[in-house]
Amino acid sequence: GSPGELNPPIPSLLSPTVTSEQIEHLHRRFKQLSQDQLTIRKENFDSIPDLEFNPIRGKIVHAFFDKRNLRQASDGLADEINFEDFLTIMSYFRPIEMNMDEEQLDRFRKEKLKFLFHMYDSDHDGKITLQEYRNVVEELLSGNPHLEKESARSIADGAMMEAASICVGQMGPDQVYEGITFEDFLKMWQGIDIETKMHVRFLNMETIAHCY
């Protein structure tokens, strides 16, 4: 596009930590993916070779269109997203800054974890049930013909039980663990340093030689 083209208004949650050059880069990438259209659809993600390798490719692409991630009031899936929505999703992966205080860090962490939670919770009911968890495991293991469905199941079941023990403690024989709620999810991730692992860092531009 022409240099100096103006982007749509930047969502306020991005402003302190993302520079305009980074946004320009993302905008260029957006245009590349959308083939110069104003919106992206699911099919546009097919053109990325590196993404093909990824076992949870489907969930990642889905996350872009998930209205909960797009901070829209309604629920369900959007058909297409524009650049502002694209930035909104990318903002979940921004790295933390040095000057953040405790409260900001906490909010940051919650946002990232919420994003991950939505990835698991495919029916949007606010809980990750055993079946949903199994789905994720199966997707991660998909494509391996040697792996039996049973092994995938047992892995999922084992992990779910562990999750239950963390969240609920010892359960009585009649108790049924319905599913992992977001609060339980938060508990499970305590101790894992998500802020440093769930980010995409931009390399910062050194300004071109100043001529005065």
In whole angstroms, give the CA distance from residue 40 to residue 25: 16
Binding of another protein by 33 (CB under 8 A): yes
Binding of another protein by 200 (CB under 8 A): yes
Judge whether 93 and 198 are in contact, CB under 8 Å.
yes
Residues numbered 166 to 195 that lie near another protein (CB under 8 A) are 188-189, 192, 194-195
Number of CB atoms found within 10 A of residue 174's CB = 5
Minimal distance, residue 189 CB to another protein, in Å: 7
CA proximity to 19, closest of 71, 95, 72? 95
Cα torsion for 81, 86, 92, 98, to the nearest 10°?
-160
Minimal distance, residue 52 CB to another protein, in Å: 4
**Sign of the alpha-carbon dihedral angle for 19, 25, 30, 31:** positive
Number of CB atoms found within 10 A of residue 180's CB = 27
Interacting residue with another protein among 5, 38, 52, 171 (CB under 8 A)? 52
88's enclosing H/E stretch is helix 83-90
Binding of another protein by 208 (CB under 8 A): yes
For another protein, the closer of residues 1 and 172 by Cβ is 1
**Sign of the alpha-carbon dihedral angle for 41, 42, 43, 49:** positive
Q: What does the block give as tokens for 110?
A: 């919650």
Minimal distance, residue 69 CB to another protein, in Å: 12
Size of the site for another protein (CB under 8 A): 69
Judge whether 208 and 103 are in contact, CB under 8 Å.
no
Binding of another protein by 26 (CB under 8 A): yes
Minimal distance, residue 74 CB to another protein, in Å: 24
Minimal distance, residue 174 CB to another protein, in Å: 27
Binding of another protein by 24 (CB under 8 A): yes
Residues that bind another protein (CB under 8 A): 3-4, 21, 24-26, 28-29, 32-33, 45-57, 60, 90, 93, 95-98, 116, 119-120, 136-137, 140-144, 146-147, 151, 154-155, 158-159, 162, 188-189, 192, 194-206, 208-212
